[in-house]
Amino acid sequence: MSLPKIDLPIFEMTLPSTKEKIRYRPFTVKEEKILLIAQEAKDAEQEVLAARQVVNNCLVDADVSKFAMFDLEYVLLVLRSRSVDNTISFQIADPETKETIKLSIDTENVKFVENEEHTNEIPLDATFKLFLKYPSIDEFVRIIQMDDNDPLVNYFVMVSCLDFIASEDEVHKFADYSNDDIDAFMDGLDGQVVKQIQRFFETMPKLRHEMQYTNKDGVDKTFVIEGMRSFFI
């Protein structure tokens, strides 16, 4: 006779990017192992892939591939709070004294930060507006995989945000056009539009928490946690 399978409770949360309700179950020992292995790897790409796998396992009726990166971060935070407990303990090295500092964070205190200046609409001229979207998790992973010194990194980040161009009478979805067409469009943009695209990416919502401590020299310091780092420190 096989061991009985334990039914897990189903909960509901609101997805930050779309405000839609999604259902999920708590993660189990299996998912905890996935996160621990990624933590040991200390690799940003492995962290994102592990988070995606855990969230995908726990979702009941949502598609993680369509999530924005901050959606993934938020859902993982809620899962961690619901499945284990609210406290994560870790150690950091003070950048000046090099001493080991022990800290703990209550995940209930981690805030979802939204910038008031954030917008996905950019006027192109008197007729057309450019509408931007959040890069998918797969696109975010590709960005991580790129060399930071590669001059094409910023270009890929901008292209990953392109959604469609619209006027009162026309809509042009970038998904319907070739890479050559998109390159030609990007080549024709003026510097102000490019800055606004970059600003869209820079001001995207994110998880953020500040922690205060005092080092052995008596200097008060602030340690900032953003996004996935609250799980893989």
Phi-psi region of 21 (alpha: psi -120 to 50; beta: other; left: phi over 0): beta
Query: pLDDT higher for 86 or 195?
Result: 195
DSSP codes of every residue in 78-132 = HHHHHHT-SEEEEEEE-TTT--EEEEEEEGGG-EEE--TT--SEEE-SSS-EEEE
If asked whether residues 138 and 89 sit together in one domain, one would say no
6 located within any domain: no
5 located within any domain: no
If asked whether residues 89 and 131 sit together in one domain, one would say no
If asked whether residues 216 and 186 sit together in one domain, one would say no
Task: Give CA–CA dist 58/180, Å, rounded.
Answer: 39
pLDDT above 70 for 196 = yes
Task: Give CA–CA dist 24/96, Å, rounded.
Answer: 43
Alpha helices (runs of H) in the chain, residue ranges in sequence order? 29-41, 44-58, 69-83, 137-145, 152-160, 179-187, 191-202, 229-232
If asked whether residues 142 and 213 sit together in one domain, one would say no
If asked whether residues 157 and 195 sit together in one domain, one would say yes
Query: pLDDT higher for 6 or 124?
Result: 124
If asked whether residues 197 and 148 sit together in one domain, one would say yes
Number of domains present in the structure of the chain = 2
4 located within any domain: no
User: In this structure, what token pair is assigned to residue 23?
Assistant: 């259902």
Which residue type sits at 109? N
Instruction: Give the residue from 31, 80, 81 showing the smallest Cα distance to 54.
Output: 31
Query: pLDDT higher for 87 or 121?
Result: 121
pLDDT one-digit tens code per residue, 119-159: 999 999 999 999 999 988 888 888 888 877 777 888 888 89
Three-state DSSP class for residue 49: helix
If asked whether residues 77 and 38 sit together in one domain, one would say yes
Residue pair 24/13 in contact (Cβ under 8 Å)? The answer is yes
If asked whether residues 16 and 60 sit together in one domain, one would say yes
If asked whether residues 169 and 212 sit together in one domain, one would say no
pLDDT one-digit tens code per residue, 15-33: 888 889 999 999 888 998 9
In sequence order, the 6+-apart residues with CB closer than 8 A to the CB of 106 are: 86, 87
Residue pair 5/65 in contact (Cβ under 8 Å)? The answer is no
Residue 170 structural domain:
121-202
* Exposure class string for 189-214: b at 16+ Cβ within 10 A, else e: beeebeebbeebbeebbbbebeeeee
3 located within any domain: no
Per-residue pLDDT, 230: 56
If asked whether residues 109 and 129 sit together in one domain, one would say no
Per-residue pLDDT, 124: 94
Residue pair 186/171 in contact (Cβ under 8 Å)? The answer is no
pLDDT above 70 for 113 = yes
Which residue type sits at 35? L
If asked whether residues 57 and 76 sit together in one domain, one would say yes
Phi, psi of 141 (to 5 degrees): -65, -40
- Would you give the distance in Å from CA 131 to the centre of its chain? 20
Task: Give CA–CA dist 38/47, Å, rounded.
Answer: 5
Per-residue pLDDT, 232: 61
If asked whether residues 144 and 223 sit together in one domain, one would say no
77 located within any domain: yes
Query: pLDDT higher for 230 or 151?
Result: 151
pLDDT one-digit tens code per residue, 154-193: 888 889 899 999 999 999 999 999 999 999 999 999 999 9
pLDDT one-digit tens code per residue, 43-57: 888 888 999 999 999
